[in-house]
């Protein structure tokens, strides 16, 4: 018998019994949280809070009546709100300007796949806004509930914990809001406020603690990283005959390469990591990995603004220590929200680096002239445009690929054409998903922002439904068998989503596709791709027994 943290526990037809138009009879303020296993995430463990010097470390369970909040919890939250309302225009403005037009309601993947009205972005925000009104607005103070205001109680805090950890901060709703209200922003503040009470989810705060100490979310120590990449070097040699060296913490390298750590350990991310190493070797790029800045992913983004800065500081620090010229970032979604929208402000100025310039094409990346960090698909697109890669896209002819725009690169950067240009250059069979599900309207994988854990499986499957349905659409229409993405969380969670909603579709990174289409200098007669699977049409003729 499967358990609630296993996919097999969930029957598709049962999950699909969703009625969006029959909200509960009771008003939302009077509707209690349904704490069913599979729909919430376990609390942060005391040891992780202690590593980070966060308040109120203790062991507790979501199902406990007493969450062991500090004595003056209410004062802490209200003072925390007052402080943030003064420090962030976004917070103050987004509390004030919503007109509840409902345009955002059916834009959230959790609402589409789950139907819980509190997963409508507007209502998610009202969970916080109602408290704001009560304590910070004249109308709320005078009219109370009539003005949509309510008292801050322990039950409200618990409701926050449930619903603000059912938001993946994907910002899809903010595309549709006529006032640009960004629920990611609201969720970030709600999580910060809960954090003041020591309320975190372990799936986010343990990676944060790891990242703080080890430089990466997965707690890979330096020697572990060397071992891990050595395994990949062996696999690369088996597939291509190329024996490559991996540079670690190399002083004076031209480029510091920062991947997400998800690419070090699990398939299909490891194939993308192998692709990085192979492509840099092929180009002769003077680069280095860092064991200290071994990760650009930053679960601080899902914790607090301060934590973004604490975790991200290592990147510029390491670039400075090693004396590199500029930074190249791998395929990761939320990492790129941090690198693009936060890093220069938090940890800059990066005046010790040079404006990034491709050593192979001479292209100066003007769009990164201040932060000095370039996205790997920008780097590859430029190389391909200048004919610097020896590509044979037919090696990917057995792949019929579609592209999933990851939330953060889409809606916090707008990097749409580069990945498409790269994919189309290395794959002959590319098909777009429906337009309401790609580019700025792209759907989340359902497991971003710290929600990609198995105990949250019901919500992951529900949240993954819109993406999964779009994948299945192109699977049925065009025979799509691979979903490319440039995000490590996607590579972890979309495997589950595709297996469930579009079985038969595999997940791949873009660099994996690039490497598989590249004719490497000095490669052996190729029969296998980076997954060590036979390449159709190039199979080992010895095994087939039809050698001429």
Partner 1 sequence: MNATNVLVSLAAVVLLFLVGLLGGMGSGLGVLFGVVIPYLALAVFLVGLVHRVLTWAGAPVPFRITTTCGQEKSLPWIKQAKLDNPSSFPGVAGRMALEVLFFRSLLRNTKSELHEGGKVAYATSLGLWLGAMAFHWSMLVIILRHLRLVSSPTPAFVAFIQQVDGFLEISVPVLYVSTVLFLAALAYLLWRRLAQAQVRYISLFDDYFALFLLLGIGLSGFWLRHVAKTDIVAVKELAVGLATVNLGGAADAAARIAPLFYGHLFLVCALLVYFPLSKLVHMPGVFLSPTRNLANTNRMVRHVNPWDYPVKTHSYEAYEDEWREKMKASGVPVEKE
Contact string 369-408 vs partner 1 (x = CB under 8 A): xxx-x----x--xx--x-----------------------
- Ranges within 207-266 binding partner 1 (CB under 8 A): 212-213, 215, 221-223, 226-227, 248-251
| Residue (314 or 491) nearer to partner 1, CB | 314
Is residue 526 involved in binding partner 1 (CB under 8 A)? no
Question: How is residue 104 annotated by DSSP?
Answer: T
CA 423 to chain centre: 20
d(CA 348, CA 345) in angstroms, rounded, equals 6
Of 273, 173, 184, the closest CA to residue 225 belongs to: 273
Task: Name the 3-class secondary structure at 403.
Answer: strand
The full DSSP string for 67-94 is ----TTHHHHHHHHHHHHHHH-HHHHHH
Residues in CB range of 448: below 8 A, 6 or more apart: 168, 169, 170, 333, 334, 407, 489, 493
The least distance separating partner 1 from the CB of residue 202, rounded to whole angstroms, comes to 20
Is residue 99 involved in binding partner 1 (CB under 8 A)? yes
The least distance separating partner 1 from the CB of residue 124, rounded to whole angstroms, comes to 10
Q: What is the CA radius of gyration of the chain?
A: 24
Of 518, 496, 514, the closest CA to residue 505 belongs to: 496
Question: How is residue 248 annotated by DSSP?
Answer: B
Which listed residue (97, 141, 243, 477) binds partner 1 by CB under 8 A? 97
Is residue 349 involved in binding partner 1 (CB under 8 A)? yes
Which listed residue (2, 8, 82, 143) binds partner 1 by CB under 8 A? 143
The DSSP bridge pattern shows strands 373-375 and 506-509 to be: unpaired
Name the token pair of 440. 């700025």
| Residue (24 or 284) nearer to partner 1, CB | 24
Is residue 314 involved in binding partner 1 (CB under 8 A)? yes
- Ranges within 144-183 binding partner 1 (CB under 8 A): 146-148, 171, 174-182
Q: Please report how the helices 154-163 and 73-87 are oriented relative to each other, as an axis angle in degrees rounded to 10.
A: 50
Contact string 282-311 vs partner 1 (x = CB under 8 A): ---------xx------------xx--xx-
- Ranges within 422-451 binding partner 1 (CB under 8 A): 434, 436-437, 439-441
Contacts with partner 1: how many residues (CB under 8 A)? Answer: 126
The least distance separating partner 1 from the CB of residue 367, rounded to whole angstroms, comes to 5
Task: Name the 3-class secondary structure at 1.
Answer: coil
Contact string 482-521 vs partner 1 (x = CB under 8 A): -------------------x--------------------
| Residue (3 or 213) nearer to partner 1, CB | 213
Which listed residue (8, 345, 359, 539) binds partner 1 by CB under 8 A? 345
State the first-to-last Cα distance of the chain, in angstroms, to the nearest integer: 54
């Amino acid at each position: 018998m499967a358990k609630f943290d296993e996919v097999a526990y969930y029957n598709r037809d049962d999950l699909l019994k969703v009625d969006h138009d029959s909200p509960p009879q009771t008003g939302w303020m009077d509707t209690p949280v349904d704490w069913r296993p599979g729909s919430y995430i376990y609390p942060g463990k005391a040891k992780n809070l202690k590593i980070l010097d966060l308040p109120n470390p203790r062991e507790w369970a979501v199902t406990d009546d007493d969450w062991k909040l500090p004595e003056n919890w209410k004062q802490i939250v209200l003072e925390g709100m007052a402080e943030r309302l003064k420090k962030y225009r976004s917070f103050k403005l987004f509390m004030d300007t919503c007109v509840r037009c409902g345009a955002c309601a059916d834009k959230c993947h959790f609402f589409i796949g789950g139907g819980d009205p509190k997963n409508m972005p507007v209502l998610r925000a009202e969970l916080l806004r109602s408290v704001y009104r009560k304590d910070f607005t004249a109308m709320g103070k005078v009219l109370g509930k009539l003005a949509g205001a309510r008292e801050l109680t322990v039950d409200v805090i618990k409701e926050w914990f449930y619903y603000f950890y059912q938001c993946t901060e994907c910002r899809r709703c903010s595309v549709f809001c006529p006032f640009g209200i960004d629920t990611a922003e609201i969720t970030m503040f709600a999580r910060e406020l809960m954090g003041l009470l020591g309320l975190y989810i372990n799936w986010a705060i343990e990676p944060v603690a790891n990242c703080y100490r080890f430089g990466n979310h997965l707690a890979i120590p330096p020697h572990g990283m060397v071992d891990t990449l050595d395994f990949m070097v062996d696999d690369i040699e088996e597939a291509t005959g190329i024996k490559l060296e991996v540079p670690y913490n190399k002083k004076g390298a031209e480029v510091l390469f920062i991947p997400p750590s998800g690419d070090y350990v699990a398939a299909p991310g490891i194939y993308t990591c192998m692709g990085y190493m192979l492509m840099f070797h092929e180009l002769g790029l003077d680069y280095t990995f860092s064991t200290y800045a071994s990760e650009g992913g930053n679960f601080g983004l899902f914790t607090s603004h301060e934590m973004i800065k604490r975790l991200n500081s290592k990147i510029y620090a390491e670039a400075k220590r090693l004396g590199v010229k500029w930074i190249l970032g791998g395929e990761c979604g939320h990492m790129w929200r941090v690198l693009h929208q936060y890093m220069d402000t938090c940890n800059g100025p990066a005046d010790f680096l040079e404006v990034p310039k491709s050593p192979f094409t001479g292209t100066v990346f003007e769009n990164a002239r201040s932060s000095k960090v370039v996205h790997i698909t920008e780097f590859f697109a430029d190389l391909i445009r200048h004919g610097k890669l020896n590509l044979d896209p037919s090696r990917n002819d057995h792949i019929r690929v579609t592209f999933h725009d990851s939330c953060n690169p889409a809606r916090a950067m707008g990097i749409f054409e580069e990945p498409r240009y790269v994919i189309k250059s290395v794959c002959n069979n590319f098909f777009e998903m429906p337009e309401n599900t790609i580019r700025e309207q792209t759907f989340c994988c359902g497991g971003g922002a710290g929600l990609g854990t198995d105990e949250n499986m019901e919500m992951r499957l529900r949240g993954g439904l819109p993406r999964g349905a779009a994948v299945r659409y192109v699977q049925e229409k065009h025979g799509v068998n691979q979903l490319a993405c440039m995000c490590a969380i996607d590579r972890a969670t979309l495997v589950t989503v595709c297996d469930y909603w579009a079985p038969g579709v595999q997940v791949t990174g873009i660099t994996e596709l690039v490497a598989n289409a590249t004719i490497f200098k000095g490669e052996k007669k190729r029969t296998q791709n980076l997954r060590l699977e036979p390449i159709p049409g190039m199979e080992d003729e010895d095994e087939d027994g039809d050698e001429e």
